[in-house]
Amino acid sequence: MGRNNSGNQISHKANPPFKAYNGDKPYIFISYKHKDAGIVYPMIKKFHDMGFNIWYDEGLPYGENFDIAIPEKIEGATLFVNFITQTCMECANDSNDYMIKESDIAQYLEVPILAIYPEPDEFRLKGYYLTNYLKKQSLYRYDYEDNEDIFIGRCVEVFISKGLEPGEVEETVPKVEETVPEVVEKPITDEPSFQPYEGDEPYIFVSYKHKDWNRILPLVKRLQDDGFNIWCDNGYAVGKQYDIQISDRIANSKLFVTIITEEVIKGAYDVDDYLIKESSVANSLKKNILPIFLDDVQLKGYYMMNYMGRQSIYRHKYDDEDMFIEACADAFKNDFGINPVSSLTLYSRPAPAYCGSEPYIFVSYAHTDSSRVFPEIKRFNELGCNVWYDEGITPGSEWLDEIANALLNCSLLVVFISENAVNSRYVQQEINLALDKNIPVLPIHLEETELPLGIQLRLANVHSILKYQIIEKAYVESILRDFKTYGVI
């Protein structure tokens, strides 16, 4: 990222007139166009010389340090002063303009805002400024004709009314804080290792905190199971080779996904944080970026500067995991043009779903369990059963109708029970619909699972097969007996 959009270049060769305030007393945050430094610097120097504490960016280039410092300084300010000029109007419709970002942050944090128009000529507000500044408290230099002292005095009156008192000029030296490099631990998990995508098809780069790996792994595996090509670092240690590989992977990705959690926000002010570096690479390459929030957190620091206002997905807004995953899949497909590949590339589909008038089995399962369920469907086919299943495709509105029709016409619903399945909204709905329509249900437990109370109640009098408890021969004998009972073999 760089200050290279219209109006962001420093045209006035003005040197910063004083060191920005860096203490604990009330201070004013100054937002301005670097191009207007020749107009703004003399005015804020007068405020500074009167004893007001002033923070401004001193012409820093727009980048990682800038992104991290700005939100923190806005958050701590007593007053946000925006110097609005005709130069600002050149970028009034650019949502990536740094002054618009600063203003959005101030409004989000509810920091009092004062608009100062320092130019002698009147002009018309446009775009963002027309929408957001038309009714804000404002001071206009052109209202005071040639008498700048009166104008400055009026500014001082407003500052004092906001709780800012002038005092002795305090020369401040920026605080130097020692930072301890983050120790990135390898993920600790009993789950099988995730295999990042290594092909030439469009893929999604997932950026995350290594400390969150045990939360990230089920998500990326689920998205992979639904047919999306996913690349993430699989918990690699940060280092030189890591940096080279990551930059290459980001450059070749079609979508950059950042997983936002409480752990991520802890590093929001750390310029050396590897997530910030990854995001900065994606920004510099102008990649599509989609933040996915696993925690309900308030943006801070770098993330406030760069992620506020972006299209985002929030886990806490969805009732269950399936709805959340479906929202992610819809965004990938509809907003970023990334379509899932056939599940055949992940787990071999046993056979096409049955379509005919003979008795058939409807299989209900969690897509995350495809690797365990598809071999069982293949076994059912080999035993001579007709089987309908959704073939691993993420349900949408049309698919839901087809699924309901297939379920209502089946002779037997076989539901594969697991932790994933009982937490699936679709599996629960399929069980309920079958029982409501008096369709026989045969639960097959893939693992020991604590059933939610609602499912316990509905399946209380239903015969089940505990596959995880019995040997293979006994399991096959059980399903053969039950299939013959229900007339599907």
Which of 7-16, 89-98, 281-290 has the least mean pLDDT? 7-16
**pLDDT above 70 for 107:** yes
- One-letter amino acid for residue 101 of the chain: K
Going by pLDDT thresholds of 50, 70 and 90, the confidence category of residue 192 is: very low
CA dihedral of 404, 405, 407, 410, whole degrees rounded to 10: 180
Q: How far apart are CA 199 and CA 253, in angstroms?
A: 11
**pLDDT above 60 for 177:** no
Going by pLDDT thresholds of 50, 70 and 90, the confidence category of residue 351 is: confident
CATH of 28-161, one of 3.40.50.10140, 2.30.29.30, 3.90.1580.10, 3.30.360.10: 3.40.50.10140
- Mean pLDDT on 23-44: 92
CB 306 within 8 A of CB 283: yes
**pLDDT above 50 for 178:** no
At 59 the pLDDT is 61
**pLDDT above 70 for 362:** yes
Q: What distances in angstroms separate CA 299 from CA 199, 203, 238, 244, 262, one per listed residue?
A: 34, 27, 24, 28, 10
| Residue 281: HSE in the Cβ half-sphere, 13 Å Cα cutoff | 22
Q: Pick from 100, 159, 96, 109: which is nearest to 130 by CA? A: 100
What are phi and psi for residue 184, nearest 5 degrees? Answer: -90, 115
Tens of pLDDT, residue by residue over 87-103, are 999 999 888 888 998 99
- Mean pLDDT on 416-420: 92
β-bridge partners, 258: 207, 291
Going by pLDDT thresholds of 50, 70 and 90, the confidence category of residue 368 is: confident
Tens of pLDDT, residue by residue over 436-456, are 999 999 999 999 999 999 999
Tens of pLDDT, residue by residue over 121-173, are 899 999 999 988 988 999 999 888 778 888 998 999 999 999 998 876 555 44
At 245 the pLDDT is 72
- Mean pLDDT on 228-256: 76
At 12 the pLDDT is 44
Q: What distances in angstroms separate CA 234 from CA 63, 89, 190, 288, one per listed residue?
A: 28, 45, 14, 22
The distance in angstroms from the start CA to the end CA of the chain is: 64
Residue with tokens 């945050």: 29
Q: How far apart are CA 313 and CA 257, in angstroms?
A: 10
Going by pLDDT thresholds of 50, 70 and 90, the confidence category of residue 240 is: very low
At 380 the pLDDT is 96
Going by pLDDT thresholds of 50, 70 and 90, the confidence category of residue 327 is: very high
- Mean pLDDT on 207-226: 88
The answer for residues whose C-beta is within 8 angstroms of residue 310's C-beta and 6 or more apart is 289, 290, 291
Is CATH 3.40.50.10140 correct for 344-485?
A: yes
Q: Pick from 226, 204, 217, 189: which is nearest to 369 by CA? A: 226
Q: How far apart are CA 172 and CA 167, in angstroms?
A: 14
Strands (E), 294-347: 313-314
- One-letter amino acid for residue 224 of the chain: Q
Which of 55-64, 79-88, 353-362 has the least mean pLDDT? 55-64
Q: Pick from 27, 153, 7, 29: which is nearest to 92 by CA? A: 7
Q: How far apart are CA 258 and CA 279, in angstroms?
A: 8
CATH of 204-335, one of 3.40.50.10860, 3.40.50.10140, 3.40.50.920, 3.40.50.300: 3.40.50.10140
Going by pLDDT thresholds of 50, 70 and 90, the confidence category of residue 62 is: low
Going by pLDDT thresholds of 50, 70 and 90, the confidence category of residue 465 is: very high
- Mean pLDDT on 275-301: 92
Report CA Rg, the chain: 30
At 393 the pLDDT is 54
Q: How far apart are CA 74 and CA 61, in angstroms?
A: 17
CB 66 within 8 A of CB 60: yes
Average pLDDT, the chain: 84
Kindly give the interhelix angle for 148-161 and 37-49, rounded to the nearest 10 degrees. 60
Reduced to 3 states (helix: H, G, I; strand: E, B; else coil), residue 438 is coil
Going by pLDDT thresholds of 50, 70 and 90, the confidence category of residue 272 is: confident
How many other C-beta atoms are found inside a 10 Å radius of the C-beta of residue 431? 25
**pLDDT above 70 for 13:** no
pLDDT-above-90 percentage for the chain: 51
Going by pLDDT thresholds of 50, 70 and 90, the confidence category of residue 284 is: confident
β-bridge partners, 358: none
- Mean pLDDT on 73-85: 94
At 9 the pLDDT is 38
Domain ranges of the chain: 28-161, 204-335, 344-485
At 488 the pLDDT is 96
CB 388 within 8 A of CB 410: yes
Which of 7-21, 50-64, 72-86, 122-136 has the least mean pLDDT? 7-21
One DSSP character per residue, 170-233 reads ----------PPP--PPP--SSPPP----SSS--EEEE--GGGHHHHHHHHHHHHHTT--EE--
- Mean pLDDT on 199-208: 88
- Mean pLDDT on 12-18: 74
Q: Pick from 277, 280, 263: which is nearest to 216 by CA? A: 263
- Mean pLDDT on 51-72: 77
**pLDDT above 90 for 339:** no
Hey, do 28-161 and 204-335 end up sharing a CATH topology, with the first three levels equal? yes
Going by pLDDT thresholds of 50, 70 and 90, the confidence category of residue 33 is: very high
Sign of CA dihedral 200, 203, 207, 211: negative
Going by pLDDT thresholds of 50, 70 and 90, the confidence category of residue 69 is: confident
Reduced to 3 states (helix: H, G, I; strand: E, B; else coil), residue 103 is helix
Tokens of 442: 């045969």
Q: Report if pTM > 0.75.
A: no
- Mean pLDDT on 354-363: 95
